[in-house]
Chains A and B, each alone.
Chain A
Amino acid sequence: MTLRDYAIRYGFILLLFGLVAYFAIAADGFVSPQSAVFIFQSVAITGVLALGVTATLVVGGFDLSIGSVATSAMMAAAYVMVVLEQNALVAVIVCLLIGAVVGLINGWLIVYMRVPDLLATLGMMFLLVGLQRIPTEGRSIATGMTMPDGSVANGKFSDAFLALGRHRFDFFIPNLIPVSVVVLLVLAALIWFFLEYTRFGRMMYAVGSNERAAELAGAPVKAYKIWAYIISGVFASIGGILLAARLGRGDIASGNNLLLDAVAAALIGYAVLGAAKPNAFGTAVGALFVGILLQGLTMMNAPYYTQDFVKGVVLVVALVFTFALSGRGRN
């Protein structure tokens, strides 16, 4: 292996360690369990979304609707519990169904209606952003709110549901690890195993690399593509559940950054270990990278409005790693 190969393979991981080392010295209190947990928590929701969008990237597609699926799921969870006065289980099931159905429709639009993936999911994004406002006429959902017909919504977020966002497990230190972090780690492990070690994941990579070859090898290409969008939709709705549980209300204004952060994480993942292709491990590292960077900058009192700029720089650098240095973007 040449120096260049090493740079491509380990460059990003080294950068990550370098970053941690720098913040450890420069920012007080950066190296502590609490700080680590905070970073994980800050990236949990975008990380879950990013893992979902990774599945669509694997089959050579893209899903721009994930952010709006997440916020729609959040609004639906609030609506189900606050207005319809149902329990946590019903809310979770409704959210997951929304994710699956949206994914199915996305897949159907792309595979059977031949709408290009970016446009189909962009359209779906607009549709959902609008749809989630209709039941409450554009208002956020919270206990005691007044409904359009003048009645008052008396339901409330159940404790079991809120626990998804607020409960912390003991891990050496009491009340350390939030549920959302556990969910992220479990989903990351699941999707990683699925993509790397099952024949379905392998076929999805084949579809993404050479669709015709996959088809001539007997793969039901259309079904694989649709499943990828269903996975993406369901993961996004899980992100939405976590968001609702953290906020405790259906906040119409939240979740604006979800799409960009998740896509950035997944694309940064291309550069990790020189994979030059979408992969679950890379996506998780990508999400973590962004989280560490932002947490470190915050602790060093960098102003909040520089965050998006820094994220953008990291993304562009990662894409250069992937496409220019490894030379695989040309294939």
Chain B
Amino acid sequence: MGNDAVFRVDGLRKSFGHIEVLGGVSLELHAGEVTVLMGANGAGKSTLVKIISGVYERGGGTMSLAGPDFAHKAFAPNTPAEAIRAGVVTVHQNINDGVVADLDVATNLTLDRLSGRGAPFLFNPGRVRREAKAVADRMGLVIDLKARISDLSLADRQMVAIARAMAHQPKVLILDEPTSSLSSAEADRLFALLDRLREQGVAILYISHRMSDIRRLADRIVSMRDGVISGVFDQKPLDYEGAVNAMLGRKIHLDRIVARNSAKAVLTVDGLRIAEGARPFSLTLGDGEVVAVTGLVGVGKTALAETLFGVRRPLAGTMTMNGRPYAPETAGEAIAAGVFLVAKDRATSGIVGDFNIERNVSLPFLKRTSRLGVLRRRIERATARRQIRELGIVCRSEKDEMAALSGGNQQKVMVARWMSQAAKLFILDEPFQGVDISARRDIAAKLRASANGRATLLFVTELDEALETADRILVMSEQTIVGEHRNADIDLERLLAEVAGGPLHSAA
């Protein structure tokens, strides 16, 4: 394991408009080492990767790469191709970005050479196959070179994408959440490949949320939070909880919440299993209660939200709403039963871009806003105006286009939509994503103030958000619920240990 840094990032800065995404990031990568980069959504990981891989221009700071004589040279790629030529290769999160689905494996493995400068004009299948075989052999990749990519499993595609990247014989390999769509057996094959690359002396930057990946691979862990490095962990044994803590942070004044207890159960879930091989779990949500489910990305929070909302079927278990069996088959059925969901990622699953505020608010409740199918626009307008007032949405009028609103106000419209009618169970999946602090406070306050008469369930990755808003906090890990805390005198060490998914430690 080498100790000299192969790749160095120093004081990297980046802003989009007035928003600073990276506030001076410094990072070193060593040959033959896997450095894991952890960070919540919006911490700046992707921006960092995109600057290193030449997609974005950096706003400030320097990067340098060691040459063959170990002397560092400035590294400032203007395009992804330049980064690759210099020896820094990135495999992006979306597997299909790394391969061409309609071509065969051999062509994919040699694609960069085929399209590069000095490539022969004529396509010689025999030569392509020979070159591809050399690339595959170097990687220890056993795969049918004639197979079409679209016929391969996701894991095989990922392997091909990495092998293709490695054909450049890079010094630095960056992997952005490579296991997010792989099964655990498939992930094991990937890890074996990475072990091999590590032995070959490649410096690997591995971005992931999955604690099992991190435990398996990491030589070092770097945590990021709010655009800066918030912790570097390289002492063996690695301090995983410390890394999670540094990534999630906690700087919130806990005195703002007076945790309530609920007497009356609204939703009872019994023996629910949301993924193959996951442990079943049960939970009860009470009237007037705000419950937050927290956990890292990919642990099943959205799967649970979608199961409760009828978009996804549970593998096992039963649900009961106010004493009656509840098994919604569609979102429409869930809504009819009084279960509303503010879905994650409002741009793709919430906002109707062609509609103004008023029409976005009324969308799910058009039946109640119409008579014999004909819309009652006066009621629609009055509802929108009332909701704009209630949530303090900053706009000129209810006719404003959604694109004219800030992220926080767009999210308020989404919340206003689902609060325009009374819910029995109100679910919000990552409601504070891309929302400024004041809008976040407004929404949280509104949720708590209006909580009576329904159960409220929030899914948040950021611990702060859970601590700020909830009466009770549930922790998810590995597609199941692993912990429960009343939001008063919380044992944060235990909570973080549960989030990190490891065995419980009583002391840190």
Contacts and interface: CB of A to CB of B under 8 A. Distances in A.
B373 A213 contact: no
Contacts of B373: 198-200
A202 B352 CA distance: 11
B231 interface: no
A5 interface: no
Contact of B311 (A197, A198, A216): A216
A254 B367 CA distance: 44
A212 B349 contact: yes
A218 B354 contact: no
Contact of A218 (B330, B355, B369, B374): B330
Contacts, number: 73
Contacts of A62: none
B351 interface: yes
A208 interface: yes
Interface residues of A, number: 22
A183 interface: no
A199 B330 contact: no
Interface in B351-371: 351-355, 359, 363-364, 366-367, 369-370
A197 B354 CA distance: 16
Given A198-B375, A331-B403, A217 B353 contact: no
Interface string B130-172: 0000000000000000000000000000000000000000000
A203 B341 contact: no
Given A216-B331, A218-B330, A219-B332, A205 B366 contact: no
B481 interface: no
Contact of A213 (B351, B366, B367, B375): B351
A225 interface: no
A217 B370 contact: no
B335 interface: yes
Given A212-B349, A216-B343, A219-B332, A199 B354 contact: no
A214 to B, nearest CB: 7
Contacts of A135: none
Interface residues of B, number: 30
A32 B363 CA distance: 46
Contacts of B353: 209-210, 331
Contacts of B343: 213, 216
Given A206-B363, A215-B331, A220-B332, A197 B352 contact: no
A95 B124 CA distance: 56
Q: Which of B349, B351, B367 has the most CB of A within 10 A?
A: B349
A206 B352 contact: yes
Contacts of A200: 373
Given A212-B348, A217-B331, A218-B331, A199 B367 contact: yes
B434 interface: no
Interface string A108-131: 000000000000000000000000
A57 to B, nearest CB: 12
A277 interface: yes
Contact of B366 (A202, A210, A331): A202
Contact of A277 (B330, B335, B354): B354
B340 to A, nearest CB: 9
A213 B350 contact: yes
Contact of B364 (A198, A205, A218): A218
A151 to B, nearest CB: 50
B362 to A, nearest CB: 8
Interface string A186-204: 0000000000011110110
A199 B355 CA distance: 14
Given A208-B354, A209-B353, A218 B370 contact: no
Contact of A198 (B348, B351, B359, B374): B374
Given A199-B366, A206-B355, A216 B349 contact: yes
B334 to A, nearest CB: 8
A213 B363 CA distance: 9
B352 A209 contact: yes
B333 to A, nearest CB: 8
A217 B364 contact: yes
18 contacts: A197-B374, A198-B374, A199-B366, A199-B367, A202-B375, A210-B349, A210-B352, A213-B343, A213-B363, A215-B311, A215-B331, A216-B309, A216-B311, A217-B335, A218-B331, A218-B335, A218-B364, A277-B354
Given A197-B375, A209-B353, A215-B331, 12 more contacts: A198-B374, A199-B373, A200-B373, A205-B354, A206-B352, A206-B355, A210-B348, A212-B348, A213-B351, A216-B350, A217-B335, A218-B332
Interface of B: 309, 311, 330-332, 334-336, 341, 343, 348-355, 359, 363-364, 366-367, 369-370, 373-375, 377, 403
Shortest beta-carbon contacts, A-B, top 7: A199-B366, A218-B332, A209-B354, A217-B364, A218-B335, A199-B370, A217-B363
